[in-house]
Every structure is written in C-alpha cells, then in structure tokens.
Amino acid sequence: MSNISIENKIDYFFNLRTNNSFSSNFDRKFMPKNEEEAYAIQKKVTDKLGKKVLGWKLGGTNIKTQTNFNCTSAYFGPIFSISEQTPAFFDYDAPRGEAELSFRLNDNISNLNLNDINHNPFMYFDMVLPSLELPFSKINNFSEVGMFPLIADLCGTGHLVLGKGSNFDLSIAQSHIKISIQDKGKELASGSSKNIIGGVRTVLSDFLKLAIKYELELISGQFVATGGATDCIFIPRERDINIVFEKIGSLSVFYK
C-alpha cells in the first residue's frame, strides 16, 4: 500500500495536465486508494486549473470502455472547452474522437433531488445535441491500471464539439439513434445510442445521482455528454469530417 499523501497525488495529476511531457504509463505509487479519493483528487485538480466548467463528460457507459478501463459503472469528469473555443486539452498530432449524444441542463437542476431523479431524470434537461467528444490524457495504460487514475485525471477530458441542438423530446431520447462519422461520404465509424448501456435515461440518472453523492456544482446551461455511441477513432487532419445523427442533425469538424 502506497503511503503517498493525497496532496502529492493531487500534484501528480495536476502536473499531467500542465507540463509538456510525453505520454507515459501511470506511476502506480500515485494510485487513488478508492473511488472517493479519485473524485477528491479530480475536484482539487479542477480547482487548481481554475478553468470554468462548461459541462460534464461521462465514461464507462458502453461495453468497450467498461472493458478498456476495467469498470462496471459510469464515471464523470469536467468539460472546459466547447465547439469553436480553443480546446482546453487536445492532441493536435493525432486527435481522437467519438460521437455522443449531449444534453443541456435546465433551471430545474437547482432543485436536484433523488426522488425526481428516480421518477423522471429527463426533467433536468431541455435540449439534446449531436456531439463529438475528443478525450485527452497523458496516461497510456488505463487498461492495466483501471478506472481510479482515469477519474483522477479528469476522466480524460479534452474538448467537446456540439452541433445544433433540438428541444428536448422524450421520444428521441428514448429511441435508438444511428450515428455515422464520415470523410467525404466514406464511413470511418458507426454506432447507435443503443450502445449506451441501459440507455440514455439510465446514464443520465446515474450521473445525477453521482452529482449528489460528490456534491457537484451543476448549473443550468451546462452540457452532459453521455459517452461514446461510436468507437473512439483517429480524426483525419486537414479534412472536413461529418458526424451524422439520425433524427437530430449533424456536425462537422476540420483540424489542421
């Protein structure tokens, strides 16, 4: 058992986000001892970074990520940059992304409570948006070290691109939405919202319950990205890449 203090662990994960070192394997002596400590580190690193939290990204919501990160439930991290903003964290040499459904929190979030979450978690959202989430981390071996370092490393937060939103529609949120990432009509990846384990209702409900447990400051207007509905793939540079979502629209990205 490591005797490294939580302060040293916070410094380690903060340095992962602020120095220019290359990606490497996680140093296991900084392993969070449990989920609670991992989220405590995440919060302290977020505070030290001083960036405004614009939303939240979920992970562990599909079979592949649960396998890759050795977990059986969803986890979350902050989002600091959206769409045309300069990415807070980004791999310009080899950007990777996955298509996701994102939802916008509404004013009801100021009265978040467990009873309403269990009854109807959708009451806390007013918009659904097509999105591309581009994760970023300097840790290479999450499949070996598991979920706790990933949580402490802000859930691998990078950047979120949002398409045009639609007013919240229960039938859309509960349907299976087909998704395709395309390069001039050639499909690079495909998927569906049915890849989200338990469906959108379940992952949003689980996130809201985690928000209560870990006392997150949820604010109306923040976005929640519900995890990869497609594989996370390399995004070709200097090409217009289109992400098409059945029923709710599309978005395009271009990275030099």
Which domains are assigned to the chain?
A: 52-253 (3.90.850.10)
Phi, psi of 13 (to 5 degrees): -70, -35
Reading the chain (256 residues) residue by residue, the pLDDT tens digits are 468 999 999 999 999 999 988 889 999 999 999 999 999 999 999 999 999 999 999 998 988 888 877 777 789 999 999 999 999 999 999 999 999 999 999 999 999 999 999 999 999 999 999 999 999 999 999 989 989 999 999 999 999 999 999 998 888 878 899 999 999 999 999 999 999 999 999 999 999 999 999 999 999 999 999 999 999 999 999 999 999 999 899 999 999 8
What's the pTM?
0.95
Nearest partner of 202 among 169, 238, 173, 234, judged by Cα: 173
pLDDT at 66: 83
Q: In what order do the strands lie in the sheet with 186-192?
A: 186-192, 178-183, 241-245, 249-253
The Cβ of residue 9 has, within 10 Å, a number of other Cβ atoms equal to 24
Distance from C-alpha of 92 to C-alpha of 150, rounded to nearest angstrom: 21
Beta strands 186-192; 178-183: pairing state: antiparallel
**Which CA distances in Å does 89 have to 80, 114, 139, 171?**
9, 33, 14, 34
**Which CA distances in Å does 13 have to 6, 43, 138, 139, 215?**
11, 11, 10, 10, 21
Residue that the structure tokens 């990415």 belong to: 87
Three-class SS state of 43: helix
- 45, two tokens: 């690193």
Distance from C-alpha of 133 to C-alpha of 230, rounded to nearest angstrom: 11
